[in-house]
Amino acid sequence: MKIGLVVNSQHHLEKDLVQALQEQYALVRLARDGGWNTVITNMHYLNEGENRHLQIIPLTARLQAEVGEMTLGLGILLINLHNPVYVAETVATLDVICRGNFIFGVGLGYRDVEFDAFRVPRGQRVRRFEECLALVKRLWTEDSVTYESEVCKLDGVRMNIRPVQRPYPPIWIAANHDNAVRRAARLGDTWYVNPHATLQTNRRQLDLYREERARLGLPFPMELPCRREIFCGKDRATALELAGPYISEKYRLYAQWGQDKAMPSGESLSLPFEELLRDRFILGSPEECYEQLRPYWEELGVNHFIFRTHFLGMPVSSAISSMRLISEELLPELRKL
């Protein structure tokens, strides 16, 4: 079992961003020194409400100086907002900066404010996503690419800057909706299982994923990563007290921003916290967390957990205490799997 850390690059407006960044460096170094495997960043443009986000590309590049031997990954890049040449050269550069120890995570996005700002018309989001990903792969592998669409025109171009990993870095696809899960099976190297769904939904969708891979004659991926919201305290009550308010706020924002529109029909994130918790978030002592995580490897076959344990607004000292417990007590147990 591999363990990764989600870097929280979302902060309240009153938080000084220079200081917030120093704190993220500290958390990343704590993960590095605690033997974690992976660091994953994420992205949004035009954050709404009382919060803001550092942009993923410069942040990820800068974090490489702190990660040591850990794998660094985009989790995820909203590729349909961007030009394919931009994506191909930028991601190749990150793979060079990471010396080939890098994951290319992609996703579709769900916020109108982003699609409008980048002029991605309704009805074109999926098409642009698929076309972008296909063109990026061609640019990384072919010697002469000719292409014309409304976003990009290339006439016998050879892209000289290429990823270190051949033919390209592993492509993780985030997917919430059933159709997106099928798309992940078809177009990605693995499905980056999301943290928003309950265990039952993950289980049902993993069957869909397996089915789709089998239908396409593709093997089940060697690596199945799953992101989880987790907080380790000395007991469940403490974990709830320290993390509850922040996870709760983050999910209120998800609901406001429309994340649940991207989820399978009928599922909502506008729930009281106790209900949201159930079968979804991992909170408690290291032993309790271990037991709550068990179904993910036993039933789903997850072999790479990506943990978010620092949330918007949470004091960094709380995140450090959770990370210490994870490093010292949970990680050694997970390593035995």
Partner 1 sequence: MKIGLFVTNQQYLETDMVSALDDQYAMVRMARDHGWDSLFSGQHYLNEGNNKQLQLVPFLARMQAEAGEMTLGLGILLLNLHNPVYVAETVATLDVICRGNFVFGVGLGYRAVEFDAFRVPKGQRVKRFEECLALVQRLWTEESVTHESDTCILDGVRMNIRPVQKPRPPIWFAANGDQAVRRAARLGDTWFINPHATTGTNKRQIAIYREELQKHGKPFPKELPIAKEVFCAKDRPTAIEMAGPYLLGKYKDYSKWGQAEAMPGDESLDQPLESLLEDRFVLGSPEECFEQLRPNWEQLGVNHLIIRTHWAGMPLSHALSSMRLISTELLPALRKV
> Residue 217 in 3-state DSSP?
coil
Q: Which is nearer to partner 1, 99 or 127 (CB)?
A: 99
Task: For the segment 108-167, give every residue that binds partner 1 (CB under 8 A).
Answer: 113, 116-119, 150-155, 157, 159-162, 164
- In 10 A of CB 217, how many CB atoms? 6
Q: Which is nearer to partner 1, 91 or 314 (CB)?
A: 91
Residue 90 contacts partner 1 per CB under 8 A:
yes
Question: Which amino acid is it at 209?
Answer: Y
State how far Cα 92 lies from the chain centre.
Answer: 19
> Which stretches of the chain are DSSP H helices?
17-33, 56-63, 84-97, 112-117, 125-141, 178-187, 199-215, 236-257, 273-277, 286-295, 316-325, 331-335
Of the candidate residues 1, 26, 59, 300, the single one contacting partner 1 (CB under 8 A): 59
Task: Please provide residue 306's backbone torsions phi and psi, each rounded to the nearest 5 degrees.
Answer: -110, 110
Of the candidate residues 27, 31, 54, 173, the single one contacting partner 1 (CB under 8 A): 54
Residue 332 CB, nearest approach to partner 1 (Å): 31
Residue 85 contacts partner 1 per CB under 8 A:
yes
Q: Which is nearer to partner 1, 62 or 186 (CB)?
A: 62
Q: Which is nearer to partner 1, 153 or 210 (CB)?
A: 153
Q: Which is nearer to partner 1, 165 or 194 (CB)?
A: 165
Q: Which is nearer to partner 1, 151 or 226 (CB)?
A: 151
Residue 65 contacts partner 1 per CB under 8 A:
yes
**Residue 73 β-bridge partners:** 40, 103
The residues, any chain, with a CB within 8 Å of residue 172's CB and separated by 6 or more, are 73, 75, 76, 103, 104, 105, 106, 188, 189, 190, 191, 192, 225
Q: Closest Cα partner for 230 from 329, 103, 102?
A: 329
Among the residue ranges 94-102, 209-217, 230-238, 289-297, the one whose residues contact partner 1 (CB under 8 A): 94-102
Task: For the segment 216-245, give every residue that binds partner 1 (CB under 8 A).
Answer: none
Among the residue ranges 50-58, 123-131, 209-217, 261-269, the one whose residues contact partner 1 (CB under 8 A): 50-58
The residues, any chain, with a CB within 8 Å of residue 322's CB and separated by 6 or more, are 230, 231, 232, 233, 239, 242, 243, 309, 310
User: What value, to the nearest 5°, has the Cα angle with vertex 203 and ends 202 and 208?
Assistant: 90
Say how far apart CA 231 and CA 283 lie, in whole Å: 5
Of the candidate residues 57, 103, 306, 330, the single one contacting partner 1 (CB under 8 A): 57
Among the residue ranges 82-90, 232-240, 302-310, 328-336, the one whose residues contact partner 1 (CB under 8 A): 82-90
Residues near partner 1 (CB under 8 A): 13, 17-18, 21, 45-47, 51-55, 57-62, 64-66, 81-83, 85-86, 89-90, 92-94, 96-97, 99-100, 113, 116-119, 150-155, 157, 159-162, 164
